[in-house]
Amino acid sequence: MEDRSRRQARTPAELYGLADVTLEVISRREVIRRGGAVAAAATVFPTDFAERLAQISSQDDVIPWTNAPPAGGRANTLDWQTLDSWVTPTEQLFSVGHYGTPELDGEAWRLEITGMVDRPMTLTLDDIQSRPQQDVTMLLECAGNRGFATFMGAVHNAKWTGTPLAPLLREAGIHDGGVEIVFFGADTGTETLLHRDDIEVDQQFARSLSVEDAMRDNVLLAWAVNGESLPIGNGYPLRLIAPGWYGVANVKWLTRIEVRDTRFMGKFMARDYVTLRQEGSDEDGVWAETSVGRTNINSIPANVVRTDGGYRINGAAWGKPIDRVEVSIDGGDWQPVALGEGADDPYTWTFWHLEWAASPGAHTVTSRAISKDGEIQPTTDDPIMVQKITYWESYGSVVREITIPDQ
């Protein structure tokens, strides 16, 4: 068995299956000139469109995008062009890990609830599964989704089964001074201390939520997905499910839940999964760092299919409660689409479609989602995207390219 104590945290390229790609170093101003982090990624991760078109040419009803990245890979990213199910099949769930995938024995596994509590607890999987069950259907998105041009499908929508976390925390009795709940996974790796490359420490993957966020009714300790036991890559035997948060907060392979009286500043809260963005102009701006947390409003055109009357653009929107979605063809005016399944659920994706009387030739298709609070999904050249120089939280609208064949 692999020695997990010597695992190193993976680089972004390794994490997303891009380790064999050479990155070109470009300046910040060049990033901005090209349209932000996503546009920059497009310049350094060229893809073989001809090969991809050949792979999907058997799908007679789908007109392929000419700038779509490949799906699958190490992270098992979603193939948007074959999307046909609102609930993502279990075998299509993406999976991202940081210290490898631990192989745990469900019989020997234990979960500790400890820290600033009156009654520390140690629970078996049977103990947890014997408690009241609850299902939550929600979208899960990697915070690095679309941070690279070749990484566009780290998202899925699935039904999770588990027990609510809040009653367990109430039973344990959180002390009055407890402010944060830290969730530790079984995956561990070796880290070198900042400014001290001669010192290495073994570190568990961990993320935290405030007590208030952890006590929400829909936060689960989940042991099943889509009616099946969790796959190893998706957190067996137990994981956290926190609707409305990026995937990194939904800690897999849980072993310990700890209540603390101070903010938790572990690697994946304070040094990694941190978005760096300039606020203000180059002359008087400041650089702000924020820890990745709740999901942002997002949408994407998934595929274009032939219909009896022409073509239909299908897509999905998520991240915030969706009020409406609009589409622009060839950079023209925004036009409304029809919302479908998931339209009334704030934590799932919302399917949408638009009938399109497309003419033969090359076209672009862009979507944007608008939340019920009026937030509009930005374009990639919006300042909020352009002034972000990290790949996390790349939720700007996607410009899809397509060529409609002659009839």
pLDDT, one tens digit per residue, over 158-209 is 999 999 999 999 999 999 999 999 999 999 998 887 777 778 888 999 999 9
pLDDT tens-digit map of 253-275? 999 999 999 999 999 999 999 99
State the pLDDT at residue 242: 98
On the CB side of 28, how many CA atoms lie within 13 Å of its CA? 11
pLDDT tens-digit map of 75-119? 999 999 999 999 999 999 999 999 999 999 999 999 999 999 999
Confidence check: pLDDT of 225 > 80:
yes
Percent of the chain with pLDDT over 90: 77
Mean pLDDT computed over 50-61: 42
Domain ranges across the chain:
4-25+42-47+73-266
Q: How confident is the model at residue 34 (pLDDT cuts 50, 70, 90)?
A: very low
CA distances from residue 202 to 9, 25, 184 in whole angstroms, order as listed: 11, 31, 13
Confidence check: pLDDT of 240 > 50:
yes
Confidence check: pLDDT of 217 > 90:
yes
Percent of the chain with pLDDT over 70: 85
Q: How confident is the model at residue 370 (pLDDT cuts 50, 70, 90)?
A: very high
Using left for φ > 0, alpha for ψ between -120 and 50, and beta otherwise, residue 35 falls in left
Specify the amino acid at residue 202. D
Tokens of 339: 């919302």
What number of other Cβ atoms are within 10 A of residue 48's Cβ? 9
β-bridge mates for residue 183, sequence order: 207, 257
Q: How confident is the model at residue 363 (pLDDT cuts 50, 70, 90)?
A: very high
Confidence check: pLDDT of 229 > 60:
yes
Note the pTM of the prediction, 2 decimals. Answer: 0.86
The lowest-confidence range among 35-39, 63-67, 381-385 is 35-39
State the pLDDT at residue 311: 97
Handedness of CA 304, 306, 312, 315 (dihedral sign): negative
Q: Are 264 and 180 in contact (CB under 8 A)?
A: yes
**Three-class secondary structure assignment of the chain:** CCCHHHCECCCHHHHCCCCCCCCCCCCHHHHHHCCHHHHHHHHHCCCCHHHHHHHHCCCCCEECECCCCCCECCCCECCHHHCCCCCCCHHHCCCCCCCCCCCCCCCCCCEEEEECECCCEEECHHHHHCCCCEEEEEEEECCCCCCECCECCCEEEEEEEEEEHHHHHHHHCECCCCCEEEEEEEEEEEEEECCEEEEEEEEEEEEEEEHHHHCCCCCEEEEEECCEECCHHHCCCCEEECCCECHHHCCCCEEEEEEECCCCCCHHHHHCCEEEEEECCCCCCEEEEEECCECCCEEEEEEEEEECCEEEEEEEEECCCEEEEEEEECCCCCEECEECCCCCCCCCCEEEEEEECCCCEEEEEEEEEEECCCCECCCCCCHHHHCECCCCCCCCCCEEEEEECCC
Specify the amino acid at residue 323. D
CA distances from residue 134 to 164, 206, 224, 246, 251 in whole angstroms, order as listed: 7, 24, 11, 21, 18
Using left for φ > 0, alpha for ψ between -120 and 50, and beta otherwise, residue 223 falls in alpha
Confidence check: pLDDT of 387 > 90:
yes
The lowest-confidence range among 12-16, 42-46, 224-228, 368-372 is 42-46
Specify the amino acid at residue 82. T
CATH superfamily of 4-25+42-47+73-266: Oxidoreductase, molybdopterin-binding domain (3.90.420.10)
β-bridge mates for residue 305, sequence order: 62, 312
